[in-house]
Structure 1
C-alpha cells in the first residue's frame, strides 16, 4: 500500500493537469478514494486543474476535515469557484472548518453575488502602501510576493486603492523613492457590486 501511495503522489506532483483530467473522468467517489490518503496540499495542487463543479463533487466525497484542508490549500480564486458549487449547508460547514486566514478571505469574497466585479476579484492580490521606499517594497516582494504579478496595487492604510505600478517600475527606480511617487493614480475603477452582465 505504501508503494501505491508513493506512486500516486509522484504522479500527481509530476503531472497535475493530466491527473486532474483522469480524476474528472471517474466517479467522484472513486476519485476521492484515490486521493483521501494524500495530504490536503497535494490534493489541492491537482484539483485546482479540474473544473469547479468536478472539484466540488470530489471534495464532497472526501472526509469533511480533509475537504476543508484541500480548499484551504487551494488558491483563493479556485476555492471560491468550488465553494459556489456547494449547497449553502455544505458551504457553511466547510467554511466553519477553515479557521485560518484563508477562511476569512473566502467568507469575505463570497459576500459578493456571482457575476459581480467583487466575485471575480482575486482577494489575495499583492499590495503595497504608498509611503514606503522602493528598496523596502522590493524586499517585501522577495519575502511575501508569491502573488506579485506584473501589476502591484497600492493601497492606503484603510485598504483603499490609491494607484497601481508595474514590477518593472520598482526594479529600475531609485531605491530611496517612495512607492506613492511612482504609482499611476489616474485609474479606472469598478464598484465591487457592479454587475458584469449589464
Structure 2
C-alpha cells in the first residue's frame, strides 16, 4: 500500500463520517478507483455508507472479481440495496459469482410480482444525507447523473427515509444550514410490497413521485403514477389528463433546474 492509500485508509478508520462525506463528492469513476485499490474491508465501508445512487454506479465500474468479493462479504441488506441500483446485466453477473445461498436470498429480495409497487421502482434516484450543508447539496445536485425530481428525499446514516424537501428550498435558504433544518416530514410512506392498484386509488397528488421503503423504512427508490398506469381497474379509473400534466410538470422542472442551480451557485460565490 502506498502512502496515499495508507493515509486514506487511516482517515477512513479514524474519521469515517468526514471521510464518507468527502468521498460522496467524488466522481463515480474516482470512487470506483478507491474501491479497487483500498483493502477489501475499507472498500466495503465505503460501499455500505455511500449515498445509495452512488454506491450502485460505483460497483458497476469496478472489476467483476472485486464486485463479487464485496457482495460476498457485505451485509445482505447492504448488498441488496447496492445491487438494486446496478444495471440488470451487471447485477446478474455478480449474483452468478457470489455464494449460492447468498445469491438465492438476494435474487428473491430483488424480485417483485408485477402487481406490487416494488416491481415498478425507479431505484437510481438522487437523495441527500440529513446532515449535509445546503451549499454541498447544491453542488451534488448539479453534478449528479441520477434522477433529480422536484421533491428530493432525505436519508439518515442507515439509509432510512427521514424527510423530503423541494429543490427551491435549497436555492432560497442559507447555504450554511443543514438539510435537516429545512426538510419536511414525509406525509405518507409507500411500501414495496403494497398492491399497485391500491396505491393508484389512494395516490397523494401533492407528489409526482412517491418514496418507496422497506418495512424498516430503508429507502429503496421512488414510484410514479405514470409507471403504475397500466394497472387500471373497473373500480378505479385513472385520469389520463392528470398523468400527462404530471409528466409535463416533471419535464419543465428538469429543463429549469440547471438554470436555477447555475444562478444559485453564482450567488454562493464571493
TM-score, with length taken from structure 2: 0.41
What is the match of residue 45 of structure 1?
45
Q: Which residue of 2 aligns with 1:25?
A: 25
Q: Is the 8 A contact 1:56 1:86 kept in 2?
A: yes
Instruction: Determine if contact 1:24/1:50 at 8 Å carries over to the other structure.
Output: yes
Q: Deviations over 1:146-178 (max 9, x none)?
A: xxxxxxxxxxxxxxxxxxxxxxxxxxxxxxxxx
Partner Cα separation in structure 2 for residue 115 and residue 22 of structure 1: 34
With over 3 angstroms needed to count, the CA separation of the structure-2 counterparts of 1:74 and 1:195, relative to structure 1, is farther
User: In structure 1, what is the Cα distance between the partners aligned to 2:57 and 2:95?
Assistant: 16
Q: Which runs of 5+ in 2 are unaligned?
A: 122-191, 200-270
Q: Give 1:126's aligned residue.
A: none
Residues 146-161 of structure 1 correspond to what in structure 2 (within 5 A)? Answer: none
1:54 paired residue number: 54
Distance (whole Å) between structure 2 residues aligned to residue 18 and residue 112 of structure 1 = 36
State the Cα distance separating 1:105 from its structure 2 match.
2.1
Q: How does 1:49-128 map to 2 (within 5 A)?
A: 49-99=49-99, 101-112=101-112, 115-116=117-118
Q: What is the CA distance between 1:115 and its match in structure 2?
A: 4.5
Q: CA deviation at 1:17?
A: 2.8
- Report the TM-score, using the length of structure 1 for normalisation: 0.54
Distance 1:14 1:24, change over 3 A: same
Structure 1, unpaired ranges of 5+: 120-191
Matching residue of 1:155: none
Residues 21 and 195 (structure 1 numbering): CA distance in 2 closer, same or farther, change over 3 Å?
Answer: farther
Distance 2:27 2:49 in 1: 17
1:6 and 2:6 equivalent? yes
Would the aligned equivalents of 1:67 and 1:94 in 2 still touch at CA under 8 Å? Answer: yes
Alpha-carbon distance in 2 for matches of 1:102, 1:2: 34
Distance 1:3 1:48, change over 3 A: same
SS of aligned partner of 1:84: helix
Per-residue deviation at 1:55?
Answer: 0.2
User: Cα deviation per residue 1:95-114 (whole Å; 9 max; x = unaligned)?
Assistant: 11212543232122122357
- Larger mean Cα displacement after TM superposition, 18-27 or 99-108: 99-108
C-alpha distance in 1, partners of 2:15/2:195?
A: 37
**Matched residue pairs, number?**
125
Cα deviation for residue 40 of structure 1 reads: 2.5
**Structure 1 residues 67 and 27, CA, compared in 2 at 3 Å: closer, same or farther?**
same
Q: Secondary structure of 1:105's partner?
A: helix
The change in CA–CA distance for 1:57 and 1:193 in structure 2 (over 3 A counts) is closer
